[in-house]
């Protein structure tokens, strides 16, 4: 999908998923939100997207914009 959409692999999931990050159960959203917020500043980016599986076939996504 990354290749077909012509996305830069360095910009897609640069730190791995929730398991790779290591976290207590239920903290995925907070950890990913903080990580993307810090990364927007560090890499001087304007927008970032966080997606996660909630379980039971549900999912969530959040769009962050640096102002």
Q: What is the pTM of this model?
A: 0.65
Per the domain annotation, does 1 fall within a domain? no
| For residues 10-19, average pLDDT | 71
- pLDDT value at position 19? 62
Domain membership of residue 49 as a residue range? 13-65
Per the domain annotation, does 18 fall within a domain? yes
Q: Which residue, among 14, 12, 34, 13, has the nearest Cα to 23 in the 3D structure?
A: 34
Q: Which residue, among 10, 18, 15, 9, has the nearest Cα to 59 in the 3D structure?
A: 18
Q: Domain count of the chain?
A: 1
Length in residues, the chain: 67
Per the domain annotation, does 4 fall within a domain? no
Question: Which residues does 45 contact at the CB level (< 8 Å), separation at least 6?
Answer: 39, 66
**Choice between 20 and 59, residue whose per-residue pLDDT is larger:** 59
Per the domain annotation, does 6 fall within a domain? no
């Amino acid at each position: 999908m990354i290749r077909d959409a012509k996305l830069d692999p360095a910009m897609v999931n640069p730190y791995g998923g929730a398991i790779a990050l290591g976290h207590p159960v239920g903290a995925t959203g907070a950890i990913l939100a903080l990580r993307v917020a810090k990364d927007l500043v560090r890499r001087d980016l304007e927008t970032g997207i966080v997606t996660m599986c909630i379980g039971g076939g549900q999912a969530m996504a959040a769009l962050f914009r640096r102002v």
